[in-house]
Amino acid sequence: MASGIGLLLFKTKTSGIDITDLVEEVKWKGRKGSAARSITVKIIDDDGYERARSGIDVEEGHQCIFSYNEKELFRGIIMKTVQTNKKIMTFTAYDNGIYLSNNKDTFTYEDKTASEIFKDVCTRFGLPIGDIDNCTYRIPELTKSKTTAFDTIADALSLDYDNTGIRHYVTSDKGKLSLITRRKNILQWVIEAGQNIITYSYRKSIENIKTRVKMLSDEETVLAESRNSALEQKIGIFQDIDKPDETLNEAQIKELCDSMLEEGSTPEKTLTIEAMGNPDVISGIGVFIIIPHLGLSKTFYVDEDTHTFKGNSHRMNLKLNHAGDISKDDSTSSGSGSESTDHQIGDIVQFNGGYHYVSSTASDPTGAPCKAGPAKLMLIAKGAKHPYSLIHTDNQSRVYGWVDEGTFS
């Protein structure tokens, strides 16, 4: 298959037809809180055209695989078609996350982690499973009656986040569903004004901000309270209340209260950009953003993405939010446990030379080995394959990505 766009249509499970020549445009997108990614494709649909028509029929369960520069980006089921007098067909396909949002059942769990619930839900509906990152919080009880599989997983992940401050997300790759720790997928990619950013807009808001949080019992007794006094002096009191899980002890309730205040007292910061396309930059992933005019030089999570492929052009529109959980402790998560505790984010270290990776979970390195040299430690993902993110500080080394334990000192 040649470089650029590639589109295979599967009318049976084993036989694929290359319909790349019919493609006019592909939009590939996803967003936080959605069970599935999708593609919307415009193809030629002309009886008189030199090439055969696609013959796509949504009632036949036709599947497709979309690739770019010979790398598979999407596979899924075609669920909607639109044909017009202009002899153009537009079809929309969803990856197998759609089965999580389109299947309902009653789910009951006791003393299970979100990762255990994710595995059970997928197994229940016969969905292939990929990687599952370990969630540490054991949910005392979760009952969801006549609801979707994805809502159940989302509620479990929400409870895990409330108690650990660590976010996870569901993703599909080559037909398998995985549960990934969000902060372990900070890419080495830098999106920078004057380089690959075309346009940007930055929004800051305190409309939903909280300066104090109270945890109440069933009898309305205050169990814990946290407040940001410095912020209250500037903007006044904005209070939130919540009821903790009854299984939590006093220390855990206080910790939860503090965590909720930490998140709630942070202004909402939303960055939207249009940039030159990079197929690795999708919802759930973290990227490093540099916009000197806004004073931005930090990691953001991608909450929503739309990639547009047309001819040789690839552009992406992203909605991003500041990554506030990358410093949370994850010492109880799965992994070898061999990571050194001596290293801290912000340390200047000496990289010994070797490979770097596009993410902490990547299977293959990016490019040739990098030379040795000084670098700054940007992120730590305990338990990951490549747990440290380094950026070179001079021209001795070009290391700019995730590296293995023991590759620097």
- Summarised one tens digit per residue, pLDDT across range 329-370 is 544 333 333 344 578 888 899 999 999 887 777 777 877 788
What's the pLDDT score for residue 255?
Answer: 87
**Stretch among 137-151, 201-215, 223-237, 388-402 having the lowest mean pLDDT:** 388-402
**142 in the same domain as 106:** yes
Q: Report yes or no on 327 lying in a domain.
A: no
Q: How far is CA 238 from CA 216, 223, 264, 378, in A?
A: 17, 19, 10, 33
**Stretch among 81-95, 200-214, 350-364 having the lowest mean pLDDT:** 350-364
**125 in the same domain as 66:** no
- Percentage, residues of the chain above pLDDT 90: 55
End-of-domain residue from the set 94, 113, 143? 94
**Stretch among 117-126, 131-140, 261-270 having the lowest mean pLDDT:** 261-270
In DSSP notation, 304-339 reads EEEEEEETTEEEEEEEEEE---TTS--TTSSS----
Q: Which residue has the higher pLDDT, 157 or 285?
A: 157
What's the pLDDT score for residue 207?
Answer: 95
End-of-domain residue from the set 60, 94, 128? 94
End-of-domain residue from the set 223, 248, 264? 264
What's the pLDDT score for residue 200?
Answer: 96
φ/ψ of residue 293, rounded to 5: -60, -30
How many domains are contained in the chain? 4
Neighbours of 35 (CB within 10 A): 23
**Stretch among 132-146, 181-195, 249-263 having the lowest mean pLDDT:** 181-195
Q: Report yes or no on 321 lying in a domain.
A: no
What's the pLDDT score for residue 331?
Answer: 45
**103 in the same domain as 60:** no
User: Starting at the edge strand that comes first in sequence, how are the strands of the sheet with 239-242 ordered?
Assistant: 222-227, 212-216, 239-242
The token duo for 49 is 């055209």
- Over the chain, what is the mean pLDDT? 87
Residue 271 has pLDDT above 50, yes or no: yes
Q: Report yes or no on 211 lying in a domain.
A: yes
Residue 191 has pLDDT above 50, yes or no: yes
**218 in the same domain as 147:** no
Residue 132 has pLDDT above 70, yes or no: yes
Residues 6+ apart with CB under 8 A from 189: 278, 280, 281, 287, 288, 358
**31 in the same domain as 82:** yes
What's the pLDDT score for residue 332?
Answer: 39
Residue 214 has pLDDT above 80, yes or no: yes
pTM of the full structure: 0.75
**162 in the same domain as 178:** yes
CATH of residue 173: 3.55.50.10
What's the pLDDT score for residue 51?
Answer: 62
What's the pLDDT score for residue 325?
Answer: 60
Q: How far is CA 271 from CA 109, 202, 318, 325, in A?
A: 38, 4, 8, 17
**82 in the same domain as 15:** yes
**120 in the same domain as 90:** no
Give the domain extent around 363. 348-403
